[in-house]
Structure formats: structure tokens, C-alpha cells
A and B are shown apart, each in its own frame.
Chain A
Amino acid sequence: MATGGPRMIGNVITWLNDPSHWRGTGTTDGIVTQLERHISYVGIALLIAMLIAVPLGLLIGHTGRGGSAVSLANAIRSIPSIGLLILLVVIISPHFHGRTQAGFIIPTEIVLMLLAVPPILAGTYAGVENVDPAVRDAAYGMGMKGGQVLLKVELPNSLPLVISGVRSAALQLIATATIASFVPLGGLGRFIYDGLAQRDFPQMIGGGVLVALLALLVDLLLAAIQRILVSPGVSGRFSKRADRRRGAAGEADSRVAAVDEAGVTV
């Protein structure tokens, strides 16, 4: 048993390194195919969740009304995902016949979407709500209309929190999308469930590692998108060059002040 740990790691690496596991065989789908499915389950749910949660969060934050919807959405997260999935499959799948997988895909997407909406909604709402009241006041005072204030001021300033909501939703979906394999669908969960069933632990752990890697990569990707989308004025990421200039100007400014002060007295 003393060598069990290292040997297991070795076995997982061997499993991951086997090209046939990536391509798949005649009877089983490979990692590549399952990865694509996994990404598509997550992608679709995340997209729908964003389409619902971002506008809703912006609206709730902008009007200051309906904050209870955010708490309600959060409460939904406490429903056990697998339980809800099975319930929805029982309700929905009898309506689909034949070769389509819609009876399983729709319940899966609903479960994932319900998980993704709350963090995005909460992030967006908090983002808008946290916009400095003076900034909002100035925006209206300059003569912006409500919609302009929302889109030109509140949204750009709430983006860091909106995106961090999306990031946390994405992580949760990537982890939870493994349950798609609990109903007979694919995705990286396939390896985990099959590995467990077949006592093929390298496969099970390999599946888990793949999920973790995917989560990491997606988070990095979203972080990069965040850097591009969020204004440096909001993120505080100013260019070094500007900072140096600022230092010089700052000194000049204080010199002016000092000179002014000196001028007062004799």
C-alpha cells in the first residue's frame, strides 16, 4: 500500500497518455468527444444563464427594486442537483421518443442553468449597486437618460463583478456538468461514473483531473476576457508609463502648491 499513491498517479498519467483514450474506440467515445460534449453542456447553460441573469441583475440594480429576486435565486442553489435532474428527467423525457437525447439534454441544461443564474445575477446586481452614488448622480446631472446611465455608466463600472459572477458560475457548471453522465449523456463525467462502476480508478481519477484542468483553463480564458473588457480606470490596471508620468506631474503639482504657499508669506 505504501507504493499505492505514487503508482496510482503513474497509472492516471498512463491512462491520460494513452492515445486510444483520447480518440476513443469503436465502442466507446474518447476524451476529445466527451470534452466537446462537456463544453457544449456548460456553454449552452452558461449562455442562457447570462442572457437571463445579466439583464435582470442590471435592471434590479438600476431600479433598486426586486432585490428579493436575488435572494430567491440564491435559495434555488440549495436544491440538490442530481435530485432535481432525475425529477426533471422523469417529467420531461416521456415527451420525447425515438433516437433524440432531448429528454435528457433539456433537464440537464435546466439544472445547470439554475445553478449558473444565481452567481451571475448576484454579481451583476452587486456590481450596479456598488457604483459610487456620486457617479450615478453626476451621470443623471449631466443629462443622461436612464438607459444611458445604465449602459454607459453602470454597466462598465459593474463589469468586474459581472464577470466574476460568470467565472464562478462557469467553475460550478464545469464541475456539475459531470452529472449529465448520471442520466445517459456524455461529458467528462462519463469517465468518472464508468471508472467508478468498473473499479477502473485511473480512468475515474483521470476524468476528475480533466474536469479540473478544463475549469482552470476556462477560468484563465475568462480572466483574459475580463482584462480586455474592463476599463483600466475601473480595474486599476494603469500602464506603467502613465504611472511614471503621473509621479512626475504629482511632484510638479505639489511644487506649485508649495510655491503658492510660500507666496502668501514674507
Chain B
Amino acid sequence: MIRFDNVTKRYPDGTVAVDSLDLTAETGKITVFVGPSGCGKTTSLRMINRMIEPTQGSIWLDDRDTSTIATHELRRRIGYVIQHAGLFPHRTIVDNVATVPLLLGTDRKKARSDAMDLLERVGLDRGFAKRYPAQLSGGQQQRVGVARALAADPPVMLMDEPFSAVDPVVREQLQDEFLRLQDDLGKTIVFVTHDIDEAIKLGDRIAVLRVGGHLAQLATPADLLARPADAFVAGFVGRDRGYRALGFSEGHELPHHEEPTVRMGETAPAASEAAEWLLAVDGEAHPQGWINVEQTAGREVTEELLYRGGTLATQGGSLRAALDACLSSPSGRGVVVDENHRLLGSAQLDEVVQLIKSEPGPAGADGDTGTGTGTQGTSGATAAVLQKGPA
């Protein structure tokens, strides 16, 4: 647990970066600090490992005041991941990862072999170990950054916009893997981002900060979307929040109807025998894409003919995914799959809308957010992960 107790940071020129912050980041959870530039989110994060010293107030790590711990000792117990990874250019990847264990006096051989295991954990091949940071892509470097922060198995991790310098595809991959890793590790994590979508996807709880270092709201993602505390938070949470909130509404039994399919490699039926759009599946009933029967009649169904614009809704997944599956499908029928990504059938848009209507009030605003508190981040992630199939 990390607790901010009336923490203020005032610079000598009078600028107040953080103003009387009271906040608790719960053990084993991801707490996201989000806000516009200049809101003091990074300053707050850096005060935890005393990269910046607070002017007033104290920060507690469980039951110890961090100001009573020598800075280097404190920092070695706290994993630290920064935006551009900040890997040591002169050290190989494996030695970068082993940095903190070596500082703590672990012998080199053990530190290195542990580092190798960690590389695999963060999704890097062992072949990377002997390379240097300059030989890696931004996304790979960031994975190494995460591995380095985890190396001494610290209970607490601080992550300062770790994924914001990589392209969107890689960012999403890193976020998903990060959540999977956190499911295993259960670290107490404070995560800074300026991206509200990232905050909603990753956070168990989100602290929205406003310029001048005031805490505007601390809430679960669902709560934040459903009940922004004031106009600033509402503005910051932004558009589409009704739609995004559907991402937290899960576990519904999606109505679905049998959907005619054609197997990849088979011959597409004549236009008269089928509806305009026909779903193509592979040998194991994994949906592959839609074909337009009028254009493909009589031809063999191949990759090139497929229209891949539609997303998948997973049975038991979020209403957001279900709605999106309907909206993105060229046939207007949303493809519903089971947890193994096998085709169950298709759902109509108005059926999904009916389900949404049956939700009490705006999603999550029915006062039962308490039940979601512990799992929001994880389940949000599940929704995101489940939209993707294994290929």
C-alpha cells in the first residue's frame, strides 16, 4: 500500500506542482494517475521513490514513512519504468535487467540467469540477452524496461508513461501483456499516463488530477465513466464515455442465431442461394471474415475475397464488444463466438440494444460498482483481449 498523506510539492519559484494530495494506492492493484500536462501526475509518482522530495506531507509505504528510508535503499525496493525505457546503452540486455539484483549484491551468475527468465516472461526471446539496447525496437526496449523493474521482485512498481512512446499496435500488445503479467504478479502499481483510454483499460482505480496538482476524482474506471465528479473530470473523460462504459458491462448471455457459413477453400454459393453476406470460417469454426456473395459466387473462398472489417463478440464478454461486433459487421449481424473463438452464431443490433436497455441506468451507475472494484482493470482487459482471437 502506498499512501499520500497531505503531500504538497512547491517549487522555489512558487509553482505548486502537487497540492495537498491525499490518496491511497492499494496493495496488489493498479492505480493510474491521469490528467493533462502540468497536473502533477509525474511529480506525484516521482515523490514515491523520492526522485523528487515533497515540500510538505509524507508518503507511506505500508507502515513506513518513505522519508525515513535512505533514498537508494528505497529505490532498490521499488520497480521503476519510464517513458523511453532509459536502458543503459553500454550494457547488454541481460545486464540491464540484472541491474538492481547486482546492486543488491546478488552474485552475477544468479542475477544473469534470473534475468534470462524474466526476459521470457516479458515476451522476449533469450536470443536478445547479448544484444545492446540500440539494437532493439522501441517496444522491445520497453519490455526490457519492465523486466529490469521486475528483476529484484519489488512489491511496488512505478510506471511513468511506459507505453506512450511506442506505436498504437505495439502499445496495445504491451498493455495486454502487462495486464497478464500483473494477473500473475499482483504488484502494487502506480501508473502515470495522459491517455484516459489507457487509464480505463489498465487501472483498478483511476486518480484524475487537474492542473495545479489537485486530485479531482479517485474512482474505479466504471465509476469514473458513469459518474464524473465535476465538469473537469467529465470533460477529461471525454466523448464516447457512454459507449466505453459498456466495456464494463459483462457476463450477459448474448442472444444469437444460427449463421450460415462457408468454409475457407470451398466454393462460394450462387447469389440466389444465400444472403448478400456470408460468413467464412476455417476448419475449426473460427470465423475468418465475410464474403460478398454477389461478387464471389462460384469462386473458391480465399483470403483475398474476405472482408475483415467486423469485430467479434465473445459470449459472456462486454456489451461494448457485442455492440461493436454488430456495428462493424457488413451484414449488420454481429458474430458471436465462444471463449475458444469458435462460432456460436450471430446477433442482431436491436437485440444487443435491448440488452443494453435492460441494464439498470447508465452502465455501472446502479450503485453496484463495489463489486467491480477489485476486478475492473482485469475484466476490462479481458474484454480487450477477448476481442482478439488467437490467429
Contact = CB atoms under 8 A, between A and B. Distances in A.
A249 B128 contact: yes
Residue of A138, A140, A252, A262 with highest tally of chain B CB at under 10 A:
A138
A265 B311 contact: yes
A233 B103 contact: no
B123 to A, nearest CB: 9
Given A134-B82, A143-B72, A234-B90, A266 B100 contact: no
A264 B388 contact: yes
B360 interface: no
B88 A257 contact: no
A18 interface: no
B103 A257 contact: no
Given A134-B84, A157-B89, A233-B133, A263 B390 contact: yes
Contacts of B64: none
A141 interface: yes
Interface stretch (B28-36, B134-142, B268-276, B365-373): B134-142
Contact of B80 (A142, A148, A234, A245): A142
A266 B310 contact: yes
Contacts of A234: 89-90
A72 interface: no
A238 B131 contact: yes
Nearest to A259: B391
Contact of B88 (A153, A236, A261, A264): A153
A141 B51 contact: yes
Interface residues of B, number: 58
B130 interface: yes
Residue of A132, A144, A233, A257 with highest tally of chain B CB at under 10 A:
A233
Nearest to B306: A266
Contact of B391 (A139, A153, A243, A262): A262
Given A238-B132, A249-B127, A134 B90 contact: no
A265 B82 contact: no
B189 interface: no
Contact of B82 (A141, A156, A157, A256): A141
A233 B128 CA distance: 13
A111 to B, nearest CB: 36
A250 interface: yes
Contact of B89 (A132, A140, A242, A264): A132
A156 B91 CA distance: 9
Interface residues of A, number: 40
A259 B173 CA distance: 11
Interface string A76-88: 0000000000000
A144 B72 contact: yes
B134 A236 contact: yes
A266 B84 contact: no
B287 A266 contact: yes
Given A138-B80, A140-B75, A143-B75, A262 B88 contact: no
A261 B87 CA distance: 28
Interface in A91-135: 132, 134-135
B103 A138 contact: no
Given A142-B80, A143-B75, A157-B89, A263 B388 contact: yes
B72 A137 contact: no
Interface string B47-90: 00101000000000000000000011111110010111111111
A143 B156 CA distance: 14
Given A132-B89, A253-B137, A263 B389 contact: yes
A143 B76 contact: yes
Interface of A: 132, 134-135, 137-145, 148, 153, 156-157, 231-234, 236, 238, 242-243, 245-246, 249-250, 252-253, 256-257, 259-266
Given A142-B76, A233-B91, A264-B387, 20 more contacts: A132-B84, A134-B83, A135-B88, A142-B100, A142-B148, A148-B103, A233-B90, A233-B92, A242-B135, A249-B125, A249-B127, A253-B139, A260-B172, A260-B173, A263-B391, A264-B311, A265-B308, A265-B310, A265-B311, A266-B310
